[in-house]
Amino acid sequence: MTRLLGSAHIETLAREESVPGVLVRMVLKQAEHADSEEKMLLENALQLLLTRFQVMGGDDS
Amino acid sequence: MILRSIELESFGRFRGQTIEFRRGLNLVIGPNEAGKSTIAGAVPAVLFGTDRLERFKPWGRNVCSAVLFFEGQGRTIQVKRNLITDEVELIEKDDLYHVLSQFTGKAPLRGRSTSCREYRALLESLLGIADESLFRATYFFGHQPQEWSGEELAQKLRTLVSGTAETDYAEILDGLLNEHFQLTRRNPWGRDKQRDREYEEICQQLNEQGEAEPVETVPVFVEIDSSADIKEQIEKLSIELEGDHQEYEKGLRYIEHVRRQMPETSEHVDSTVVEGKPATLRTSTDKDNLGEQLAAAGLPQNPPRELPELLSEAAQVRQEFAELQQPFSVLNNREKKILTVPWMTLGLIVALLIAGIAVSWWQDFQFLWISVGAGICSTLFLGWGAWRQIERKKALAESRKERSRLEQKKLEAQKRQAGLSERCEAFGLPSSAVDLVRLQKLVTKHRELLEKCWNLAGIAVAESDACENGNASEDEEATEVGNASSDNDDAEKELLQLEALMTGFEAEFKRKELRLQNLRLQFNELSVNQDSRAKIPGTALHNRKRELEERITVLRKAINLLAGAVDEFSRSHLARLNDEASKLFGKITGGRYAAIKLDENMAPSVQVDGRRWVPVDHFSRGTVDAIYMSLRIALAKVRDDGRSLPLMLDDPFVHLDQKRLATTLNLIDLASADGQLILFSHNLDLGKRAARERWHVIPLDEDTVDTSSMEGEGHAGQLHLL
């Protein structure tokens, strides 16, 4: 499991009833059966999306 | 969680007043200007802040603050805000008044500071909501529903159903798609774009440089292994040269020994040798010089006359290999594009049709017609599938034929290359592709030198024949002069033979040394090339191409993931929202309209006569209000997530007729059963109903407010009609 996918932030997000929540659950499910290369791709895609969510949501964190 | 009370310390026209609420339906009733909307607006203003301070700030006073008390699940939450300074104090306590969590700090409406984020995170965890816009759209229903119509409503609903306020996922998706199509024209979700983007331009540049796909286009002539080959050759040649050197030293020592054995005759023999072969020696000297020049130019010392022909053939073979790559690539792409037949889908369709026939037979309803129709449909679908399958087989057969033709051509080229390698080796030439390419360049460059060499070789052969004749006549003369010693003759002959052998050996030795020197130079050049490869423009393009490919892959993954997540979320939440809204709207309209549906753009439509879907703008104002109210209550229920905040309705019934008003009130009564609903209204008739239904009534009138606005006054007058 890579760093982002195993983080507490992701675990919290995965419990949310929201699009990010569904997204994180989808990524975690796909990562279960993925090789290291695919996991890296999933993590990069998730990171990109979470960054966009923060920008669009007006969060500057 | 319910709103237990609002303490209006200095808020609008209220001063030092506390309004208490209960679980279930609360009715705040009073005439216009009594302060209903102020109380209703106090909740979001205290929770999130406001940008309409002038609306709540008491005239002539510099204080504007209020406190909200929430209660539920064994906890109380107190939120106090000074609307002028935006100082907030939030305290969560348990039943024993132990403080569970607390926040004190500034938290303006659109603040982005750490303190604001901390406050919103706490609100989110305690009340399940941290955004004013979301609160207003979900739990707050004003008397101006027209502000929630058309595209604005659609966008708001889309945002709310997506689960996060102020985030439009369609916009994020558009942003990702835009970035993707700025990098490449390839469109995995539809037809390719027209114009080439950076990725295609780089591929084009690499193609023009002949470096587009180095491994695929010139697989036989890759330079990767040449340095290893050269290194191996250097090692082998070094060992050979070491052995040769030892042999040469031995030979020299032996010749010296033989010369010492015949001191008297040596001078004669030497002079004979020197005088007897002047032309041969001159040719030999020229040849040596030429050999050195050839070696310096990097050419073999004895270049065969067939060299240009061999090199030209090698170039042809290379060309053939390169030309074969393109058709193979096209063929692979064509094969990928041949679509498979969706037999599974067709099977499912046919199964459904059969099920339809079975149902019609069982229900005894139009069995014959349905059977005939289903039979025709099945035949058409299966026929289409069979036709597609035949087309696919044809396309595959053509592709296989083309592939076998190309394979045959490739095999022929490989055979030609093998023959060429054998011939090169027979002439002592290198057979690797890299060496041949380099040799071809050298041959073109030093053509004159080679011509000279080949001419000289012709002269040498002619002179060699002449020398043999001359030697024969000299031998005769020597016999006539007399034999000095028969033993010496034998020794001289042996010495001559040895010296000739040594000359040949020396030439061969020098040739090998030069070859070794050249190999070492080549090896060094290759090493330098490999080191500097990252610096040449072609490699930079390859690197950029790889970067783009990685970015495109990540973007595609992100787009697919987001589209999938939004789709899944919308499917589950939209379905629930449609269900809830349809139930509520059906009750309000007394079953006249059975269902409300939000399409993918969140535009509502209503089912009429049980089949037609009619857009919402075709209905009367009252019906439209009812539709939006159904949607809003449904949305609050869907988003509720068990935290059940109060639903606040600020005079939403102004456009409803008496019948619909009654039904709607029944509906909100039902909706308040498992939570809290605060209804603000100026309709005094509602008071009668409140008495019947045992609602909690909070009457407001101008006199009450005016009186209570005095300092030191306690609670606003509240009437509990039980």
B120 interaction partners in chain A (CB closer than 8 Å): none
Nearest CA of chain A to the CA of B554: how many Å? 5
Domain assignment of residue B119, given as a range: 2-128+641-720
Mapped to the 3 state alphabet, what secondary structure does B653-721 carry? Answer: CCCCCHHHHHHHHHHHHHHCCCCEEEEEECCCHHHHHHHHHCCEEEECCHHHHHHHCCCCCCCCCCEEC
Put simply, whether A37 touches B (Cβ < 8 Å) is no
Interchain CB distance below 8 Å, B163 and A23: no
Looking at every residue in chain A, the average pLDDT score rounds to 80
Mutate to test the interface with B, among A13, A30, A52 (most CBs of B within 10 A): A52
For the ranges B76-85, B442-451, B584-593, B710-719, which has the lowest average pLDDT? Answer: B710-719
A2: which 2 tokens?
């890579």
Comparing alpha-carbon positions, the chain B residue that sits nearest to A51 is B172
8 Å CB contact between B17 and B715: yes
ipTM of the complex: 0.93
Interchain CB distance below 8 Å, B561 and A27: yes
Interchain CB distance below 8 Å, A16 and B117: no
Mapped to the 3 state alphabet, what secondary structure does B299-346 carry? Answer: CCCCCCCCHHHHHHHHHHHHHHHHHHHHHHHHHHHHHHHCCCCCHHHH
Interchain CB distance below 8 Å, B554 and A27: no
Max CA distance (Å), chain B: 163
- Residue count (chain B): 722
Domain assignments of chain A as residue spans, ordered by start:
8-56
At residue B453, does pLDDT exceed 60?
A: yes
Can you tell me the mean pLDDT for B624-629? 75
Report if pTM > 0.80. Answer: no
Q: Does residue B407 lie in a domain region?
A: no
B135: which 2 tokens?
């609160």
8 Å CB contact between B598 and B157: yes
Task: Give the closest of B117, B176, B565 to A19, CB-based.
Answer: B565
Interchain CB distance below 8 Å, B557 and A42: yes
A42 interaction partners in chain B (CB closer than 8 Å): 557, 561
Round the CA-based radius of gyration of chain A to a whole number and report it. 11
CA distances from B422 to B22, B428, B441, B490, B519 (A): 101, 10, 21, 43, 21
Q: Could you read off the pLDDT of B647-678 as tens digits, one per residue?
A: 888 777 666 677 767 777 776 776 666 678 88
Can you tell me the mean pLDDT for B576-581? 83
Q: Does residue B292 lie in a domain region?
A: no
At residue B639, does pLDDT exceed 70?
A: no
At residue B216, does pLDDT exceed 50?
A: no
B564 interaction partners in chain A (CB closer than 8 Å): 26
Q: Does residue B89 lie in a domain region?
A: yes
Distance separating alpha carbons of residues B142 and B148, to the nearest angstrom: 10
Put simply, whether A44 touches B (Cβ < 8 Å) is yes
Q: Does residue B664 lie in a domain region?
A: yes
Put simply, whether A8 touches B (Cβ < 8 Å) is no
- The count of CB pairs under 8 A between chains A and B is 74
Element (H, E) at B489: helix B486-532
Q: Could you read off the pLDDT of B384-422 as tens digits, one per residue?
A: 999 989 988 898 888 888 888 888 888 888 888 888 877
Distance separating alpha carbons of residues B403 and B327, to the nearest angstrom: 9
B171 interaction partners in chain A (CB closer than 8 Å): 56
User: Could you give the percent of chain B with pLDDT greater than 90?
Assistant: 9
Q: Could you read off the pLDDT of B489-504 as tens digits, one per residue?
A: 777 777 777 777 787 7
For the ranges B285-289, B344-348, B666-670, which has the lowest average pLDDT? Answer: B285-289
A26: which 2 tokens?
């989808």
Q: Does residue B658 lie in a domain region?
A: yes
Q: Which residues of B touch A (CB under 8 A)?
A: 110, 112, 117, 162-164, 166-169, 171-172, 175-176, 553-555, 557-558, 561-562, 564-566, 568-569, 641
Interchain CB distance below 8 Å, B167 and A56: yes
Distance separating alpha carbons of residues B570 and B579, to the nearest angstrom: 13
Comparing alpha-carbon positions, the chain A residue that sits nearest to B550 is A41
At residue B161, does pLDDT exceed 70?
A: no
What is the number of domains present in chain B? 1
- Residue count (chain A): 61
Q: Tokens 């703008």 label which residue?
A: B617
Task: Give the closest of B166, B554, B565 to A26, CB-based.
Answer: B565
Nearest CA of chain A to the CA of B122: how many Å? 15
**pLDDT band at residue B641, thresholds of 50, 70 and 90?**
low
Q: Does residue B78 lie in a domain region?
A: yes
Task: Give the closest of A17, A48, A57 to B558, CB-based.
Answer: A48
Put simply, whether A1 touches B (Cβ < 8 Å) is no
What CATH code is carried by the domain that includes residue B664? 3.40.50.300
Q: Does residue B345 lie in a domain region?
A: no
Can you tell me the mean pLDDT for B197-224? 62
Per-residue confidence (pLDDT) for residue B717, from 0 to 100: 36
Task: Give the closest of A18, A45, A61 to B164, CB-based.
Answer: A18
Angle, vertex CA B543, rays to CA B541 and CA B546, nearest 5? 110
Can you tell me the mean pLDDT for B172-176? 86
Put simply, whether A12 touches B (Cβ < 8 Å) is no
At residue B266, does pLDDT exceed 60?
A: no
B561 interaction partners in chain A (CB closer than 8 Å): 23, 26-27, 42, 45-46, 49
Interchain CB distance below 8 Å, A41 and B561: no
For the ranges B40-49, B103-112, B140-149, B351-360, which has the lowest average pLDDT? Answer: B140-149
Q: DSSP per residue over B636-652, as a string?
A: HHHHHTT--PPEEEEST
Interchain CB distance below 8 Å, B561 and A16: no
